[in-house]
Amino acid sequence: MWEKVLKGLTYSIGLYALLPTALARFCHLGVIWRGTRAGGRVAITFDDGPDPRYTPVVLDILKQHNVRACFFVLGEKARAYPELVLRMKREGHEVASHGFRHHIPWLLGPRGIIREVREASRVIEEITGSPPRLYRPPWGLFNLFSLLHSLLFGQQVVLWSFLSWDWSRRCTPESIARKVLSRVHDGSILVFHDSDDTPGAARGASAKMLRALPVILSELEKRGFKVTTLAELNPPRESWWQRLGQRLDHLITRLLKFQHLHYRDGHPTLLSVRLRRYRGRALMLNDGTCIRPGDAIGEIHFHNGVLKELVAARDGPAQAGFAALRVLKELKRSLGELARWAATHQEGVKAVMGITVLHRGAERLGFTLCELPSWLKIPARLYQGWLLAAYHPQGLPRVRLHHRKIVPRMVAMGTRELIRRYLTSEGVNGLKEKIKEG
């Protein structure tokens, strides 16, 4: 009996821990370990920080050599030293996740992995304004769930091309530099450690790395290598489920017969619309329009491809503000084309309305905000969350960290108010007269 139990335990450990690690480390399944767009580029990464003794010196050296790197930080340390994380971001470095604590993935169950990843991502976003898109498991060890990390959490897993052994007790500045410079090649991802207080690291090893780093950077420059970020070495790619989600969205809008509105130059606006009959309860809008069951309305829907392009450059609070301004400016332009569509439509559109989570400031644009019927709240929230995961550059991490903020509302505006506010193109007088006559 004990033999069967021992055998079963061995198989379970192999399936849960050893096999996923072998697939990732040796077969490179689901991980980045070298550059896909090299062209003489290499990437330098640092693990286990931030550390108040070593990380500032690392940043100083990188600044002297005009080099940007990627720091895989521990959430626990990032919370303790947020000023170092902010400095990384401010000086153009990437901030990625190394988990919350330096726990061995083999000893963590599904809930433990989820807790480690989510807490680290939450801390990093609180400091930098954006969740990390990259993750490196402690010691490069995997279990069954961390191997599925990209699918479960929407973060790309990054390992390395080879080890510098800069954490070992026997390492020297010369041995670190020799190991790196003898094996570096186009597209290499190098790994160093800017902390020596995690299990397995020799005390003082990071100080030796600091003496080797300037030598390595100088030699890389002499050899013609450009040290760059992982984003440049491996440009972010949409996951397969994001591509699938976008295709499904396109299919749904086609099946529901949404019409993409275009400007006169042929470029698409931010809005799509379809004509349908209103079937809800009677609504009295702030502009005086009363919508009753059976009235013709224009159901509006964001053109998510255009919206995706507008927010693609989002990276941190400042860029988020610029993205919001771009979306607002484009929305105002698009409302002009929506007004033209409503004014020229033969069926006499009473109002335009839609469901969205992007309703902040909608009332200043002339919309009335309405609560959704209770039966529609959960489906609408799931649908809006799915769209956000499919189109937002940060995908699933964005949804998971902000799922409580996904609160869809109905926005509506009477056609007359829409035309009064936004139909300012040529021929506006004739169109307004047509509406009055109707």
Count other Cβ atoms within 10 Å, centred on residue 316: 13
| Selected catalytic residue, list 47, 51, 166, 249 | 47
Backbone angles phi, psi at 340, to 5 degrees: -65, -40
Q: Cα angle vertex 248, ends 244, 249, to 5°?
A: 115
Quick check: 74 and 95 in contact, CB under 8 A?
no
Rounded-to-integer distance, Cα 120 and Cα 126, Å: 10
Q: What is the chain's alpha carbon radius of gyration, rounded to the nearest angstrom? A: 27
Does 93 qualify as catalytic in the annotation? Answer: no
Token reading at 407: 């609160």
Distance in angstroms (rounded) separating the CA atoms of residues 412 and 410 = 7
- Dihedral sign computed on CA atoms, order 103, 108, 112, 114: positive
User: Which residue in 103, 193, 303, 359 is the catalytic one?
Assistant: 193
Question: 122 near 89, Cβ under 8 Å?
Answer: no
Measured CA to CA, the distance from residue 293 to residue 352 in angstroms comes to 14
Q: Which two tokens stand for residue 229?
A: 């970020």
Instruction: Give yes or no: 403 in active site.
Output: no
The span from the CA of 184 to the CA of 73, in Å, is 24
**Measured at the alpha carbon of residue 141, what is the angle toward residues 140 and 143, in degrees to the nearest 5?**
140
The answer to whether the CB of 336 falls within 8 A of the CB of 422 is: yes
Residues in the chain: 438
Strands 70-73 and 94-97: parallel
273-276, long-range: CB < 8 A, 24+ apart: 273/298, 273/299, 273/300, 273/301, 273/338, 273/341, 273/352, 274/298, 274/299, 274/301, 275/299, 275/345, 275/347, 275/349
Residues 132 and 99 sit within 8 Å (Cβ to Cβ): no
| Closest listed residue to residue 253, CA positions, set 303, 298, 306, 309 | 303
Distance CA 359, CA 354 (A): 10
Tell me the C-alpha distance between 165 and 188, whole Å.
Answer: 16
Active site (catalytic) residues: 47, 193
